[in-house]
Amino acid sequence: MKKALIIVSFGTSYKETREKTIEAVEKRMTENFPECDVYRAFTSNMVIKKIKEKEGIKVPTVNQLMLELKEKGYKEVYVQPLHVINGNEYSKAAHQAHHFKKDFDVIKVGKPLMTEFEDYEEIVEWLKDLAQPLEKNEGVVLMGHGTQHAAFTAYACLDHMLNKEPIFICAVESYPSVETVVEKLKERNIEKVYLHPFMLVAGDHATNDMASDEEDSWKSQLTKAGFIVEPILKGMGEYPKIQNLFLSHAEKVVERGE
């Protein structure tokens, strides 16, 4: 029996961005690990419910999928999260997988995008490339999801590593907030801002909280503060560089058992 590789993410009910991001990564994983049967799992029950209602597709949780793999007779299961940080959703996926450790010979869970210091360095270089070419009075603001988990510090760490660049990391649900960036933008004499999601997919947060014309969206807040704002609705999972980083994390667990 082949090995099983579970690609797990929070998920998204936005079909188009799901195809460009999650499915694109899954395809890369399938090509790179022919010895594995690749499966999809989501950690968000709300997203799973929406997809079932809208598309008639049932996406399992890690827990449900582990039960299925056990019934199918798999002995080796590898899990690669597509989460950005080591927060609540990653912890949930890892906990559900390890719950079945007595039922399989091997269960290995890979790391999220930003785990080791080298991951941060890679992301910094990717963001520098993403920001090119910028005019002198232009900057980039990225919307991270944020978390109440202790891992919220990952966003502040990355933002600090970019302190010499016109690139700013903010988060919807934790620090740094978008309000904290306005003064920084003015200090740098930035007049135009490119808004990007710092999330795997360009889903609900990116579409509504970041790029919409609603009064409390980031686009509206920054426009009101006097900046010209151009939202870019492109999830991180669309970029080959980010896909490659997830692949390298998966290689560590599948090929080296780390």
For the domain made up of 3-113+238-254, give the CATH fold: Rossmann fold (3.40.50)
Q: Is 149 a catalytic site residue?
A: no
pLDDT in tens, 185-216: 999 999 999 999 999 999 888 999 999 999 99
Binding-site residue set for substrate: 85-92, 200-201
Tell me the residue type at 70.
Answer: K
pLDDT of residue 99: 96
Mean pLDDT to the nearest integer, 43-51: 96
Binding-site residue set: 10, 85-92, 145, 173, 200-201, 205
pTM as predicted: 0.93
How far is Cα 91 from Cα 106, in angstroms, rounded to an integer? 19
Domains 3-113+238-254 and 117-234 share a fold: yes
pLDDT of residue 86: 93
Architecture of the domain delimited by 117-234: 3-Layer(aba) Sandwich (3.40)
pLDDT of residue 120: 97
How far is Cα 13 from Cα 46, in angstroms, rounded to an integer? 9
How far is Cα 8 from Cα 129, in angstroms, rounded to an integer? 27
pLDDT of residue 2: 82
Which CA distances in Å does 257 have to 33, 70, 212? Answer: 14, 20, 43
pLDDT of residue 112: 97
Q: Which of 83, 98, 99, 145 is catalytic?
A: 145
pLDDT in tens, 73-107: 999 999 999 999 999 999 999 999 999 999 999 99
Task: Enumerate the domain spans of the chain.
Answer: 3-113+238-254, 117-234
